[in-house]
């Protein structure tokens, strides 16, 4: 069985400040890990993915995440928040490419001017 | 290149009714997955279709059923609707037979059960 825990259902950051969203996973096999973003009334857009290659993964819109096996974590960061980053972010785990995704509960990001 | 499309965008039903939601995958994709996203929660996996067969299933009752057509499009059917079935239903497509396995999501269908 696999599971994902996202610490903090809401995060508030100032424009230009660091964005840090936490994700811890549980998986019985080497995981595939993903971060998705969801804007209001829209579907999910993939930000980045880890598929057993480099542990530091760079994604779109300046986001990156680091896979730490010893900590079973896959935290998402962005050095400088932009107003357009206000959205909900979901971490997800899969046991293999294309298999079902198990999502965390999501973290809503508010960006203050 | 059209992405994943879903219809309808919104739907209102009453308890006990049946509903059918439709999904067209991204061009070139052969696999469709369905997810239920209740308000304020992360998406939950319902099932996945490949080669017109259900390949994986999540923890959903038999009231939830699906179908995949030869053109890879898919339908999600829910019978005997309950108030708790109110949610955003997301379809995702991917390519199993080689190439990218990343799942691309559609905009969803918002189902309200009264």
Nearest by CB to B41, from A4, A98, A105: name it.
A105
pLDDT given for residue B1 in this prediction: 65
Mean pLDDT across chain A: 93
- CB within 8 Å: B101 and A97: yes
pLDDT given for residue A54 in this prediction: 84
Per-residue pLDDT of chain B (114 residues; tens, 9 = 90+): 679 999 999 999 999 999 999 999 999 899 999 999 999 999 999 999 999 999 999 999 999 999 999 999 999 999 999 999 999 999 999 988 765 678 999 999 999 999
Contact A83, A15 (CB under 8 A): yes
Question: How buried is A65 (Cβ within 10 angstroms: 0-12 exposed, 13-18 middle, 19+ buried)?
Answer: buried
Chain A and chain B share a number of CB contacts under 8 A equal to 55
pLDDT given for residue B98 in this prediction: 65
What are residue A79's DSSP bridge partners? none
Nearest by CB to B48, from A4, A41, A100: name it.
A100
Q: Six-digit token pair at A13?
A: 């950051």
Q: Six-digit token pair at A64?
A: 């990156």
- Residue in A closest to B31 by C-alpha: A98
Q: What gap in Å lies between CA B114 and CA A16, rounded to an integer?
A: 44
pLDDT given for residue B90 in this prediction: 97
**Which tens digits make up the pLDDT trace of A45-71?**
999 999 877 889 999 999 999 999 999
């Amino acid at each position: 069985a696999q599971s994902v825990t996202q610490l903090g259902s809401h995060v508030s950051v100032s424009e230009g400040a660091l964005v840090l969203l936490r994700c811890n996973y549980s998986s019985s096999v080497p995981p595939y890990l993903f971060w998705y973003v969801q804007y209001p009334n829209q579907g999910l857009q993939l930000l980045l993915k880890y598929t057993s290659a480099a542990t530091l993964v760079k994604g779109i819109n300046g986001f990156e995440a680091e896979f730490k096996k010893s900590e079973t974590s896959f935290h998402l960061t962005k050095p400088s928040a932009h107003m357009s980053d206000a959205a909900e972010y979901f971490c997800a785990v899969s046991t293999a490419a294309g298999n079902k995704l198990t999502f965390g509960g999501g973290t809503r990001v508010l960006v203050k001017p | 290149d059209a992405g994943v499309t879903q219809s309808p965008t919104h739907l209102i039903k009453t308890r006990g009714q049946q509903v059918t939601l439709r999904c067209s995958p991204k061009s070139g994709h052969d696999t469709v997955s369905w997810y239920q996203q209740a308000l304020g929660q992360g998406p939950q996996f319902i099932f996945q279709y490949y080669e017109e067969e259900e390949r994986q299933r999540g923890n959903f009752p038999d009231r939830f059923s699906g179908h995949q057509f030869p053109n890879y499009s898919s339908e999600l059917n829910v019978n005997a609707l309950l108030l708790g079935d109110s949610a955003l239903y997301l379809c995702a497509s991917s390519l199993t037979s080689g190439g990218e396995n990343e799942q691309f999501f559609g905009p969803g269908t918002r189902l309200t059960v009264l």
